[in-house]
Amino acid sequence: MKSSLFEQSNLEVHSNDVLTLQNNKMLRARITPQQGVISRKGAMVAYQGNVSFSHKGSDNVGQLLKKMVSSDNAPLMTVTGDGDVFFASTASSVHIISLEGDGITVNGSNLLAFTDSLHYDISRVPGLGALSGGVWNTTLTGHGLAAISTQGQPVLLDCSQQPTFTDIQATVAWSANLVPVLKKSVSLGSFVGRGSGEAFQYAFSGAGFVVVQPSEGMPLAAAG
């Protein structure tokens, strides 16, 4: 049998690393009894070996209350066992981040998976409380690996040089030490922030970075 499907670039990438890129659209996770992974529900596309999936509940009461208030826009599952699991998100580009005692805040729809050695919590962007979708995000801290997805090639903006404003739906992640606020530019109407239909943006300032993708993703919805 012959086909371009059998080209070297499409074959499995074998590695003992916990998280590796199968290709730029797919993540491969090596699961062992000593090292599990937490992923976004629905992100698994295939797995090999003896692997189990279970709902990731809250680690404490405070986290549970945050999930209840936020409706938790990043429902998670725990992956354990012995095998390999492949994750992807609508053919979006996948990026692996190594955390070394620092932290990153990720939009729930862009979070793909992370090692269970990392601590996670739900964080709220202060500002316009009537918005949903981009207000609540997941913050990861500690030592370990995390994988995020972006729709297209992202840009990394340095917020320490000058105030930085980003469309809510185009914002993928930012330094956990940054505390953005939600801003509405009424005078600009719908000319800014196409994803929301109104001029809503995140406002960042201080030492840190923000990752922006070239897509607004899902439209912004108002909370009921």
pLDDT the model gives residue 65: 44
Burial 149-168 (b: 16+ CB within 10 A, else e): bbbeebeebebeeeebbbbb
Question: What does the pLDDT profile of the chain (224 residues) look like in tens digits?
Answer: 888 888 888 888 888 899 999 999 999 999 999 999 999 999 999 999 999 999 876 554 444 444 444 444 568 999 999 999 999 999 999 999 999 999 999 998 899 999 999 999 888 776 655 444 446 789 999 999 999 999 999 999 999 989 999 998 899 999 999 988 888 765 554 555 554 445 678 999 999 999 999 987 654 443 33
pLDDT the model gives residue 182: 83
How far CA 110 is from CA of 48, 94, 189, in Å, comes to 24, 9, 27
Rounded to the nearest 5 degrees, what angle is found at the Cα of 62, between the Cα atoms of 116 and 126? 100
pLDDT the model gives residue 57: 60
pLDDT the model gives residue 211: 97
pLDDT the model gives residue 18: 95
pLDDT the model gives residue 159: 94
Domain boundaries, the chain: 10-222
Radius of gyration of the chain (CA): 18
* Residue 169: HSE in the Cβ half-sphere, 13 Å Cα cutoff: 18
| Domain covering 10-222 assigned CATH 3.60.160.10 in the classification | yes
d(CA 201, CA 167): 5
d(CA 160, CA 163): 8
Cα–Cα nearest to 74, from 89, 92, 85, 95:
89
CA 199 centroid distance within chain: 23
pLDDT the model gives residue 185: 67
